[in-house]
Amino acid sequence: MTLRAEPRDTSSVDEVLDFLADRPLVALTGAGLSTDSGIPDYRGPGAPVRMPMTYQEFVSGPVPQQRYWARSHLGWARMGHAEPNAGHRAMARLDPDLLITQNVDGLHEAAGSRQVVALHGRVSEVVCLGCGAITPRAALQERLAELNAGWLAEHASAAMRPDGDVELEETDGFVVPGCDGCGGLLKPHVVFFGENVPAERVARCYAAVEALGDDGVLLVAGSSLTVMSGLRFVKRAARAGTPVVIVNRGTTRGDDHATYTLAVGCSEFLTDLVERRG
Ligand SMILES: [Zn+2]
């Protein structure tokens, strides 16, 4: 791997806007799209380096579950207030053939995007690993608040992470309820590290990327493509001869497959692109 000291910017914004003006689009978005909504990009510059909890750790026993839900309880209280930004609104107006997002914050949907695959799920839902029931995260938040009165106020200063988690080490005594129906283990309905994206979700994305052919474009916005779950669509497009455009402030693992890369902010670029496409 080559380290580059300068942010790369191989193309002019106008050139890329022209290229994207008339072509069918599939979009792939990541954390960089939500930073303007106050949700920090934990892979971005200056971000704390800490691995998220893996699926295997989460299911291994009550202590990690307590730690996860205690942090999530705090994070939810704040992420719940995040609003879609100009980038989300522009993406809704662009209305790509399919919008694949790695974000779990639900802000694309909140901005009005309709054809959305939330690749890694949504933090707004909870799944029971016992019976499979899916319930709103908001309802669980109320139960957590009742069972852990005072917890939020006591830990109000903890720093937030983009997956709705917070920096918090001391979680002893936090009470985690089971499923209302079966008492089973409740997990956020998001794909953890160590867990696979459901196959039908992946298949829908591949189909949309393959349908682009030579005429369409896979537009990546605000993702460093660090994880294979997103990078594989870039690779698939490149292999098929479908142009790939990457708009991201830092280098990405997909740069070698890109027709154009632009190191600019997503909100500004997408807003310009809406204007260009009319
Ligand atoms: Zn259940």
Q: Domain containing 74 — which CATH number? A: 3.40.50.1220
- Do the domain assignments include residue 7? no
Number of neighbouring beta carbons within 10 Å of residue 78:
16
Tens-digit pLDDT profile for residues 223-244: 999 878 899 999 999 999 999 9
Q: What's the rounded Cα separation, in Å, for the pair 214 and 13?
A: 22
Phi and psi at 237, nearest 5°, equal -60, -50
Q: What's the rounded Cα separation, in Å, for the pair 190 and 199?
A: 14
10 Å CB burial of residue 10 (0-12, 13-18, 19+) is middle
- Do the domain assignments include residue 18? yes
Residues catalogued as catalytic: 120
Q: What is the pLDDT of residue 38?
A: 75
Tens-digit pLDDT profile for residues 132-182: 999 999 999 999 999 999 888 888 777 766 555 577 778 888 999 999 999
pTM for the structure as a whole: 0.83
Q: What is the pLDDT of residue 6?
A: 43
Q: What's the rounded Cα separation, in Å, for the pair 259 and 125?
A: 37
The CA 63 to ligand 1 mean position distance, Å, reads 20
- Number of folded domains that form the chain: 1
Q: What is the pLDDT of residue 219?
A: 98
The CA 91 to ligand 1 mean position distance, Å, reads 36
- Do the domain assignments include residue 98? yes
Specify the higher pLDDT residue, 184 or 226.
184
pLDDT bin (cut points 50, 70, 90) of residue 39 is confident
- Do the domain assignments include residue 271? yes
Q: What's the rounded Cα separation, in Å, for the pair 266 and 249?
A: 8
The CA 182 to ligand 1 mean position distance, Å, reads 4
- Do the domain assignments include residue 3? no
Q: What's the rounded Cα separation, in Å, for the pair 272 and 80?
A: 28
The CA 130 to ligand 1 mean position distance, Å, reads 5
Q: Could you list the residue range(s) of the whole structural domain that residue 180 is in?
A: 13-277
